[in-house]
Structure 1
Amino acid sequence: MVSSRKLSSDEVEALIDGLQDQPATSNSSATAVAEENVRPFDFGSDDLSLLGDYYALRMLNERFARAARSVFLPMLRIQPRISSFPPEVKTFDEYTSGIESFMSLTTNRVEELRGNLLIVIDPNFVSLLTNSYYGGSITKVESAKTEFTSTEERVIEIISNGLSRGLEVCWRDLMPITLNVHSRETNPQFASFVDSSDLVIICSFVVQLPNVDAATFDVIYPLQTLKPIASMLRSRVQTETEENISWRDRLELAVLQVPLKVTARLCQPTVSVKKLIHLQEGDVFPIQVGDGVEVRVEDAPIFLGEMGEMGGNSAINLKERVKT
């Protein structure tokens, strides 16, 4: 039989106190366990590990260093030795604090990545290139400048355009890109590139010249521009087959575009010196066309054909290949 005894007021208060204490203890223990597995995350922060060690970018820079030699060769009249440094990551403010306030800054728009890249050239190197380009010697030039001359601006345009075309060629094995000049500046503070706190990837190149100190130039990518292709940049797998096919395709295309001179020889008459001396305007040479017209490519006989007309123009109908 169930007891009908009621709880006293002290017993009810003790029961309520016990029920209130139990959830608090369980919640605190659950919170303590959860805090051990929780770490803060800042949305929108840049994860530098996203691009790995920039393996593909380092390989691209090595190819670009070789390609850039042909850009400086007409200026220097010698083949410079150009080497690339491993890419560095800094904020744009940190980078600009380490360079002069007067530099050659060319911003290019990368259409495929919907971003920009910046080509930075030291003004003393620009002066050296200008002096050498117009017949002077390759000597060290140091001067406190605040602006470029019109001649130096033209040299900057030639160099930056050449480097941009070289970058397009080197990027082609990774992905095709198109670079268009967006702006040119001389003060890093006025370059409409990225915000000062944004992270950038700095690719530096050193140009070694005889009897003078080495010169440098930089190619800078915003980290946000390269993030969409992060998986490609950190990949270490290089498919040699694809590279070889690409190289063969480019070689074949280059060979097929070589211009060749094609001539058609109707006959080859023989004339004496006496008759040649007395030739006058209006004289006629009788000729005899043999089995056909000989079609020659670069003075080598290739085809036999016959003369005719097509569309109101003289034409040759190829009949057979010359056997050699």
Structure 2
Amino acid sequence: MKILITGANGLLGQKLVQLLLDNNETIIATSHGESRLDYLQGDFIYEKMDIREADQVMGVMSKYSPDVVVNTAAMTNVDQCETEKEECIRLNVDSVRHLVKACKQTGAFLIHLSTDFIFDGTSGPYLETDEANPLSYYGESKLDAEKIVEASTIDWAILRTVLVYGITPGMSRSNIILWVKNSLEQGKELKIVDDQWRTPTLAEDLAMGCYLAAQQRAKGIFNISGKDMLTPYDMAMKTCDYFDLDRSLITKVDGSMFSQPAKRPPKTGFVLDKARNVLGFEPVSFDEGIKILDLQIKSLLVE
């Protein structure tokens, strides 16, 4: 199977390239800038491709004619989407139109990544069939992209996910586990919200969800996330306990303490029954996810 990945330099993209290498698939990794994948062992193709540019997308897709395209590229900073709306639309909506058009020409199966932020968070955890009602511009852009995919005549899957966490060499963005660990090790006091619920997703699990959908060419919408419903405060305390750090440095607060450009849904999270039954997807627990990250941190330190 020949699989093209957009956003291959990102956290999910890197994990997906690694998983596909482990399974001897043919990989075309694409991203906007220079490759950050040089540390990976194995044969794959890297092509610069700016998904905002229709000609580039069509050119690369026509050159390689992949069987499957996994679109992991997006503007995911929720507050940045609120303040840079035009760029948000270019990255999250227009680019999907370009990919759909290219998939139609080449016959590729499109796997598009979406988000829990298409929901307003009043009745989570959500099924695939629940009605969307985004609170933020980010959520609106991702819902608009879903509609473009659904209205197309290509074969497609939409994988919705929640609060992805993980680690890669030279990673540019942190996550709640690393942030809490590093802050408490430095003796910093933290105020962490306890009135927003999510089902945080290990990046390796999300990569596996993408691969399962690709293998089966499974059409439709699937929830792909972790299985534990937790608040950021819960996640912080679990991190604290695992690494034996000082709990007293963490104060529980509510979201009203923080002034952010974008509204956050109070309770999202996903019901995973469809992904389990159709794809055979089974994520690790958050506790297991912390342990996996710990092993990866130690491995990176050794290298």
TM class by shorter chain equals: under 0.3
More helix per residue: 2
Higher strand share: 1
- Calculate the TM-score normalised by the size of structure 2: 0.24
